[in-house]
Amino acid sequence: MYKFNLSNHNLLDVAGACLNMAARIRERNPGDAEMLARADRLEATARAVTAAFGGIDTKPATAEIIEKDQRRDDELRALVRILEVHMLSALHTATAPAATELYRILTGDGLDFLGGPYALESARLVELLDRLEAKADLLAAVGLTPYMAQVRAAEAAFVAARDARGQLQEGRPELVVSVRSPLSAAIRSVILLLSEPGREEQATYVLAPLSALRPKSQPAVPADPAVPADPAAPTPAV
């Protein structure tokens, strides 16, 4: 049964994931008024969180956070360039198939998220890295393993800098309470609707941004590469 505990996660991370979820709901349900209403509510409450904390869309961050955000973007784009070399150069015909498959995973949905809200960017980046690390043999074939470690390290450094600022903001309990409860209720309403029969496949897709979030106590860089099992469709419960 699908369960999500908001208190275990960074509030801004959850808000970013909810914006992603709202977009996914609209993508899959263009004619479903009930689902679209849930998407509108989810987006409204998520944006209330980002506005209350200074706005993740406009990135009003410290110079350190901005620098570390740029660093992780650069490290990810380095992966793209390396794979393109293996795909296009006649010197790498033996590794071209492996590079092509990894490139498809990395860029299949585009890299526009790199210019998006910080929390959404982190969630999407971690999701991509997990999928790539599930192809350990292909990473080794093109020599990408150490570069993957660089991206993980850059993401961890960014999260640490962002969380340091977030801890100061979350020290304002009246602000947290005012935006957390509506967001939690909106998430529950989406989970409840997705628990209805016939929505199992959609639930897996829509709830993926929440599933990708790491709890506050979980390290951003795993000791071993993650190898996800075939996901089962969640059965939401509140």
Domain presence at residue 223: no
More confident residue, 115 or 28: 28
Answer positive or negative: Cα dihedral of 60, 126, 209, 101: positive
Q: What pLDDT is attached to residue 237?
A: 42
Domain presence at residue 234: no
Q: What is the mean pLDDT of residues 187-213?
A: 89
**Using an 8 Å Cβ cutoff, are 12 and 55 in contact?**
no
Domain presence at residue 237: no
The C-alpha atoms of residue 80 and residue 8 are separated, in whole angstroms, by 33
Domain presence at residue 233: no
Domain extent, residue 95, equals 6-212
Residue 91 structure tokens: 């010197």
> Does residue 235 register a pLDDT over 80?
no
Domain presence at residue 228: no
Domain presence at residue 112: yes
The C-alpha atoms of residue 157 and residue 167 are separated, in whole angstroms, by 16
Instruction: Tell me how many domains the chain contains.
Output: 1
Tens of pLDDT, residues 17-63? 999 999 999 999 998 999 999 999 999 999 988 877 764 433 445 67
Domain presence at residue 224: no
Q: What pLDDT is attached to residue 135?
A: 92
Region of poorest pLDDT, from 53-67, 115-129, 132-146: 53-67
Angle at 202 between CA 117 and CA 193, to 5 degrees: 90
Domain presence at residue 188: yes
DSSP label at 236? B
